[in-house]
Every structure is written in structure tokens, then in C-alpha cells.
């Protein structure tokens, strides 16, 4: 599968590990950086990756910052993005199954490498849920009406 991945300085180490493991697992990974420990602004990297997913250039993306929270907030500002911030394997499974998450956000300082790797694998392998979940995801994608 083709994926995009990006991180800020707080997530670069975990991102690099995931890029390596994803490549070894046969995935094609486009790494948008950052590539060092110098301080950078996470929204820049989240937006860059989220736009690629939103435009359909890649089906899925992974974001890593110190906690995963900032990246997920920024990515979810981009239309058609459903970025789930996850800390556990179960959350990754449910994000795929129930929320049809097309992006995953992880914390480089808060999630250990093995949990992050397992969460990514489960997220990639979990099929999207049935019509019950699709109806709800369609509402998320449509957003609120202006009259509400």
C-alpha cells in the first residue's frame, strides 16, 4: 500500500522507525519529513501530508508529533480528512472500523515503539465497518449545516 508519513521534531525518531518497518513490510512510503531534531512547526507537516490524502494522491497517512494531538488537530482542518489520534492498538482498530480514519496520529514521546508499530499494522489491516458506520462517517465528511 502507498502511504504518506510526516513528523515534527518530537516525532521524528518514531517516524523514522515506522518508515523503515513499513518499507520492510512492503509498503511504499513517502516521507515528508522532518528529518532532524531541529524545532519545526507541526501544522506545516500535518497540512502537507493531509493534503496528499485529501486530494487522493495516497489513500492513507501517518503523522507523528510529541503527543500526536497537535498533528491530529491540524490534519482534521483539511477537508475529507478523518485523522485519529491513537495511543493503543484497540483505538487504532476502532478508528479504522468505526471511523474509517484515513490518517493516524501517534505520539513520539508518549507511545512506545512496539505499541505504535502494532497500532499501525492493525489500522492498516482492519476493514472499514458496515453501513451503520458509513452513515456516520458520511455525516462527518459533510460537516454541519449552516442552519444548525
Say if CB 82 and CB 140 are below 8 A apart.
yes
The rounded distance, in Å, linking the Cα atoms of 116 and 136 is: 27
Cα–Cα dist 146/125, whole Å: 37
Is 87 in the active site? no
Given 65, 83, 85, 100, the catalytic residue = 65
Q: Which of 9, 83, 87, 98 is catalytic?
A: 98
User: Would you say 72 and 91 are in contact if contact means Cβ atoms under 8 Å apart?
Assistant: no
- Distance from first CA to last CA of the chain, Å, rounded? 39
Catalytic residue list contains 9: no
Catalytic residue positions, numbered: 65, 98
Amino acid at each position: 500500500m502507498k502511504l504518506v508519513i510526516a513528523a515534527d521534531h518530537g516525532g521524528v525518531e518514531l517516524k523514522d522507525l515506522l518508515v523503515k518497518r513499513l518499507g520492510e513490510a512492503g509498503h511504499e512510503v513517502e516521507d515528508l519529513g522532518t528529518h532532524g531534531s531541529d524545532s519545526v512547526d507541526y501544522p506545516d507537516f500535518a497540512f502537507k501530508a493531509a493534503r496528499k490524502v485529501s486530494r487522493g494522491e495516497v489513500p492513507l497517512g501517518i503523522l507523528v508529533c510529541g503527543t500526536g494531538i497537535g498533528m491530529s488537530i491540524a490534519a482534521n482542518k483539511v477537508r475529507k480528512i478523518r485523522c485519529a489520534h491513537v495511543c493503543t492498538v484497540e483505538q487504532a482498530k476502532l478508528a479504522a472500523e468505526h471511523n474509517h480514519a484515513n490518517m493516524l496520529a501517534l505520539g513520539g514521546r508518549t507511545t512506545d515503539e512496539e505499541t505504535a508499530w502494532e497500532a499501525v499494522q492493525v489500522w492498516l489491516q482492519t476493514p472499514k465497518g458496515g453501513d451503520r458506520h458509513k452513515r456516520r462517517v458520511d455525516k462527518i465528511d459533510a460537516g454541519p449545516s449552516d442552519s444548525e
